[in-house]
Amino acid sequence: MITIRQARANDEIAMQNCNLTNLPENYHMKYYLYHLATWPELSFVAENEQSRVVGYVLAKMNEDTAESLDGHITSLSVMRSYRRLGIAERLMNQAQRAMFEVFGAKRVSLHVRVSNIAAFSLYRNTLSFDIDHTEAKYYADGEDAYSMKKDLTTLYSLEKENLDF
């Protein structure tokens, strides 16, 4: 059984291991710590039965959006042997819900390599992200990225209205 929980500072080594194992874009430890210290509610890990981190989502709030707070998915990774089990979708849903509930985010954005068909399919077909535009040479190796966005207001606002306080 896979458990999704909020990421903690002591998860950063396991999160970085996931990143180094699976993704060509890698981050320094202080970048994970910065996210976890600044937006502790937004990043999540997936653990297996042995409490080993097998996936993570690193998320933040964009600080440069003047009119409203927008969330951003910095990184998402799931170890190969745990893919196609819905873990990435669960991690993303947790992060998006936290953005909306904790910070009142109206939108969430992310970047995905143009060549990463599996991730693009997850974001577009499963998670309902739309392509906003293409950013040329976004990645360090010169590859282009799709800049994708998703409206969170229609997703959670009805649910929020129906809550009894």
Q: What is the pLDDT of residues 73-121, one digit of tens each?
A: 999 999 999 989 999 999 999 999 999 999 999 999 999 999 999 999 9
- Residue-averaged pLDDT of the chain: 87
Mean pLDDT, range 1-9, rounded to an integer: 93
CA dihedral sign, ordered 87, 141, 61, 156: negative
Residue 32 contacts residue 58 (beta carbons within 8 Å): yes
pTM: 0.87
Asked whether the predicted pLDDT for residue 53 surpasses 90, the reply is yes
Reported as type and span, the H/E element at residue 18 is helix 12-22
Q: Which two tokens stand for residue 147?
A: 């800049």
